[in-house]
Amino acid sequence: MLTFQLAIFVTVLFVVQKFLCWLTQKPLKYPPGPPSLPFIGNMAVFMTGRAPYHVLKELADQFGSVVSLKMGTGRFVVLSTVEAIREAFVRQSECFAGRPYMYSISLLTRNNCGIAFGDYTPIWKVHRKSCAVAIHRNVRGKNCTSSDVKILQEVEHLIVRLQQKTNQPTDISDDLNLAVLNVICDMTFGQRYEIHDSEYRAILDSANKFTAILQHGDPIDFIPALKIFPSKKLRLVQDVIKTRDAILQKKYEEHVATFDPKNIRDLTDAFLLSMLECTDENGNHELTEDHIVMAMFELFTGGFDSTFKTLKWAVIYLLHNPEVQKRIQDEMEQAIGSRLPTWDDHLKLPYLEATVLETLRSSSYSSLNGPRRTTTDTQLLGYDIPKDSIVVCNLWWVHHDPANWKDPDNFRPEHFINENGEVFQPKAFMAFSLGRRACLGDLLARMEIFLLLGGMLQRFNITAPEEDGLPALEPLPDLIRSPNEYRVVLKNR
């Protein structure tokens, strides 16, 4: 009887304590946003048929720089100004360093063993640091051929192929595709392909399917219970996994069998070396085979489609702005003569480098810059942001906001050149993200676009066919800002 009375007393005391806490608790101040529907929240925002970044810009006009949406049972926060993004991703970088769990991505990444999509954990930090070291060694050519040399070799192959297409309307997409993918394959596992190689076609098909997976958010990722129903997205995921494991797993095993720490041939070797160096206090390896294969995979997913389409955007902008093309060619003639540019020349060729950065700004390929997840309850510009909120920044609008750029809708490399004629990156430039999740391949991507674009302009004048007119400046209406197809006329210089 005494025990029963004591249990009742403790229960009542607990309820009273919770009630008093509720009475005294300050109500949370969430960011403003539109009304939501039960169960699905504001998911319809991403299902209008319009580009999501345009829709989110309109919401920012209505509700402010920090907007709150509901997605299923979770909260979705959109940041639309430099101040809000830098406060979150730089000053509170750890609070905003997580990744949301998405069912399709967890399948694709071997239970989130990658860096780009992996959540913020102690192992993730070790993995990211080891890959950063490996990429740095490869770029600088420590015990291996440096990245710029490998890129230049592919530039020469590209020019030979393009020489066969001069003076006639032609689509150079396949040639750029092959060049970019060969650069990545050579860097990753020391192999290059010809355009009709079956393995190259399989890699290309897999890369295109992966890009399709990253398009508009699928309900299955926000409501995992839907996985019991047939899903086109899950079929794409399964196809990508099958191709990746058939090719990259084989390359990984070949590298393990022939690995020599004194002869680092490519990034896979560099990843293996970093894995051997990453041990805990007991001498156990902290990274696994899955981490290395996912690092290889993310070089493709992070470096192929974005670089290829940025190059296609660069050509579009040059067709619309022939004076920019002429100025780059004049700059190269004065600074390096008739030889192909190298990365060591980038300080001598500021206008070419600024053109690369302006292409990244104007195209804003990754329009929302990848979702993040808050790792703790926090505040942002006076608003309460609960733990596990999904946070994105409207990169496209930041790159086109007149408050950040003079004449933002026009292509002007001068956006990235200071009064001394030197290249600089304004605070509003965020093509490679910021903070704990800034892109590890920043330098590699800029180097690749610089050398491929510079090499083409050194050897060819590029114009639009008269019968086609200039290509469209508006992208396809997707989350990923892909250019429309077009043809060019190449003329030898």
Model pLDDT for residues 182-222, shown as the tens digit of each residue = 999 988 888 899 989 999 998 888 888 887 777 655 666 66
- pLDDT score, position 218: 63
Q: Note whether residue 469 is domain-resident.
A: yes
The reply to whether 17 falls in a domain is no
Residue 15 lies in a domain: no
Of the candidates 123, 83, 82, the one whose C-alpha atom is nearest the C-alpha of residue 284 is: 123
The domain of 379 spans 29-492
Distance CA 329, CA 459 (A): 9
Confidence grade of residue 234 (pLDDT, cut at 50, 70, 90): confident
pLDDT band, residue 386 (cuts 50/70/90): very high
274 belongs to a structural domain: yes
Compute the Cα dihedral for 142, 182, 370, 368 and give only its sign. Answer: positive
Q: pLDDT per residue over 97-134, tens digit each?
A: 999 888 778 888 887 888 988 899 998 998 998 888 88
Q: pLDDT per residue over 460-487, tens digit each?
A: 999 999 999 999 999 987 778 999 999 9
Q: Is residue 7 part of a domain?
A: no
Q: Tell me what the mean pLDDT of segment 144-165 comes to.
A: 92
Within 10 Å of residue 128's Cβ, how many Cβ atoms? Answer: 19
| Sign of the Cα pseudo-torsion (283, 289, 294, 296, in order) | positive
Confidence bin at 81 (pLDDT 50/70/90)? very high
pTM (2 decimals)?
0.90
Is residue 39 scored above 80 in pLDDT? Answer: no
Give me 355's structure tokens.
């053109």
**Residue 20: inside a domain:** no
Residues contacting residue 416 through CB under 8 Å, at least 6 positions apart: 353, 354, 357, 358, 361, 423, 424, 425, 426, 429
- pLDDT classification of 23: cutoffs 50, 70, 90: very low
pLDDT at 10: 46
Per-residue pLDDT, 107: 81
Q: Considering the domain boundaries, does residue 23 fall inside one?
A: no
Q: What is the average pLDDT value for the chain, to the nearest integer?
A: 88
Write out pLDDT tens, residues 297-326: 888 777 888 999 999 999 999 999 999 999
Q: Which of 481, 407, 438 is nearest to 86 (CA)?
A: 438
The CA distance from 285 to 277, in Å, is 8
- CA-to-CA distance for 165 and 152, rounded, in angstroms? 20
pLDDT score of 6 = 47
**Is 405 part of any domain?**
yes
Q: Under a CB-based contact definition with an 8 Å cutoff, are residues 120 and 97 in contact? A: yes
pLDDT band for 230, please (50, 70, 90 cuts): low
What domain count does the chain have? 1
Helix, coil or strand: residue 477: coil
Look up the CATH number of the domain holding residue 92. 1.10.630.10
